[in-house]
Amino acid sequence: MADMNATIPQPSDDAQRGSAGARPGAAAQSPPPAVEIVIPVYNERHVLEGSVRKLREQMTREFTFPFVITVADNASTDGTLELARELARELPELDVLHLESKGRGRALRAAWSRSDADVLAYMDVDLSTDLSALEELLEPLLEGRGDIAVGSRLAAGAQVTRGLKREVISRGYNVLVRMLLGVGFSDAQCGFKAGRREVIQPLLAEIEDEAWFFDTELLYLAQRNKLAIHEVPVRWVEDPDSRVDILATAREDLRGLMRLRAAARLRERSPHSDAAAPDPLDVRQSRSERPGVGALNTQSFLDPPRPASPH
């Protein structure tokens, strides 16, 4: 699949993709993919090819639905973009999106905004999350059972290998998220998420962050809109070569939490608060009347409703 070269106006004027807004290499009559998995990258040439090939092999082996893997390059300077374009010429399921600025949230916004896939997903390029969790992440969404699915390193059944500093910071951050924002999900920052396009795309315009806090803000808005958030316990191994500055990221995340908390307090004090008026972000009508709002456990999410017993 060829890479993207023409500039698109939405959502950012620095995102570059294929001509005329069509997905490169796809025939006009081809149906849209069922799933698009975005891999945001910044200077990841050393790991990109192995991860893309491993993910493509897993998707091809485990699933029969059409899919696209999009490498979203955030202004890399180490040849990551050139390698991605080379791989795209070889692998028909691979797409390349180039942005002139850094930011994981910026990359996801650009890729998800222009996607026509039924389910939008993303994962970190180091594949720290074991790909065996893909089935639980994707299939219920494709069947319409739930709105958003997230990998969780803190849910019951998760298996995590990481250093003490990262463990303490991660657990502490997620405790703060629940305390300050009153959310039900356990792990806001695991780089393994998916959602149905019809509920994800309306939320993108309301997310302010363009970096690591994007994930937390997305899930917070989803819960405010009473969307069903399903947590998938994952096997997760810390990448010893991770380029993430944990302390700097934590500081930025704390600023994001304070911003959302302040906005929530303003809504509480307003006579036109959420309790008194419909939320203008409500992308799902009458969701509050349905069960399964908030974070769901794996069993209730994967098992379809059973018919009532005859009287």
**pLDDT tens digits along 97-141:** 999 999 999 999 999 999 999 999 999 999 999 999 999 999 999
Instruction: Please give the mean pLDDT across all residues of the chain.
Output: 83
Instruction: Provide the pLDDT confidence category of residue 271 given band limits of 50, 70 and 90.
Output: low
pLDDT at 11 over 50: no
At residue 138, the pLDDT reads 98
**Range scoring the smallest mean pLDDT among 22-36, 142-156, 185-199, 293-307:** 293-307
Percent of the chain with pLDDT strictly greater than 90: 66
Q: Is residue 286 part of a domain?
A: no
Q: Is residue 57 part of a domain?
A: yes
Query: How many folded domains does the chain comprise?
Result: 1
Q: Is residue 295 part of a domain?
A: no
Q: Is residue 306 part of a domain?
A: no
pLDDT at 18 over 50: no
Give the separation between CA 301 and CA 239, rounded to whole angstroms.
Answer: 30
Instruction: Provide the pLDDT confidence category of residue 169 given band limits of 50, 70 and 90.
Output: confident
CB 181 within 8 A of CB 219: no
Catalytic residues, which ones?
Answer: 215
Q: What is the CATH number of the domain that holds 182?
A: 3.90.550.10
Q: Is residue 190 part of a domain?
A: yes
Q: Is residue 250 part of a domain?
A: yes
Domain region containing 155: 9-20+28-271
Q: Is residue 235 part of a domain?
A: yes
Task: Give the up-direction half-sphere exposure of residue 260: CA atoms within 13 A in the CB hemisphere.
Answer: 28
Q: What does the pLDDT average to over 275-297?
A: 42
Q: Is residue 305 part of a domain?
A: no
